[in-house]
Amino acid sequence: MARSLSIAAYLASLGSADGHSTPVTHPRRPVGIIIWARCSNPDQLTAVETLERKLSAEGDPIHVIATLHKWQPEHASRALPEPRGKDSIRKFIGHWQPAMCIWISGDLDALLMTEIRKAGLLSILVDATSDGLETVAGRWVPGAIRSLLSEFEAIWALDQQAADRLLRAGAPEERILITGAMEDCAPTLPCNEAERSELARAIGTRPVWLTAAAQLEEWRDLCTA
């Protein structure tokens, strides 16, 4: 995909210096498929953990490796520091060999996104809004935002307003989908699978609704409904 000459000039000015002052030792890579979740803040980690739990529910070896833009030692059990600089980014990708990258929310980084693209990784932008886009690569770079948004195979917007703003910023219309927020939720409660299957067959495709915390005096109205 063609990139703007201004973006290329901006990236060249960054050089190849590694952003870390000391070498980074990565944990051992687990067997299976790795998905890289690039998080902007710690509030997104719970949703990422929910995603991993859902993806691996069937027993497939799928792992979601989260990195934090502003990592602190207290996040060590849940996320890795975001790699900074070309060398660190390339070593990170080479070690983990992710199948794809999920970029959560804004704070688009031209250098990081370029290395992701060079590695041939598919990438999607989730919980997408227009927040922070005006700082991408500096206001002086013409076409920077449009070029970077075009790097994503899909952009999952938070709501219609976010989708409209992303479209005006230059995101390809055909790649924008309104999905809402990537939610964190509790694991599905255990049940008797035989009873669940029997109930599912009995209900079929009919609409289902649930009454929670109903009172005894409400039972006639519930039966009528």
Work out the burial of residue 219: count CB atoms within 10 Å of its CB; fewer than 13 is exposed, 13-18 middle, 19 or more buried.
exposed
Residue 62 lies in a domain: yes
Residue 23 lies in a domain: no
Q: What is the pLDDT of residues 127-185, one digit of tens each?
A: 888 776 665 555 545 577 888 888 899 999 988 988 998 888 888 999 999 988 876 65
Give me the percent of the chain exceeding a pLDDT of 70: 81
Is 155 in the same domain as 212?
no
Amino acid symbol at 153: E
Residue 185 lies in a domain: no
Domain that holds residue 201: 196-224
Is 47 in the same domain as 137?
yes
- The separation between the first and the last C-alpha atoms of the chain, rounded to the nearest angstrom, is 56
Is 69 in the same domain as 144?
yes
Task: Tell me the pairing of strands 100-104 and 122-128.
Answer: parallel
The pLDDT assigned to 134 comes to: 61
DSSP state of 205: T
Give me the percent of the chain exceeding a pLDDT of 90: 30
CATH (domain of 104): 3.40.50.11720
- Average pLDDT of the chain to the nearest whole number: 81
- The answer to whether the CB of 65 falls within 8 A of the CB of 125 is no
More confident residue, 102 or 3: 102
Q: How many CA atoms lie within 13 A of 156 on its CB side?
A: 13
Structural domains in the chain (count): 2
The pLDDT assigned to 90 comes to: 94
Residue 186 lies in a domain: no
Distance CA 163, CA 141 (A): 23
Residue 93 lies in a domain: yes
The pTM of the full predicted model, rounded to 2 decimals, is 0.71
Is 174 in the same domain as 141?
yes
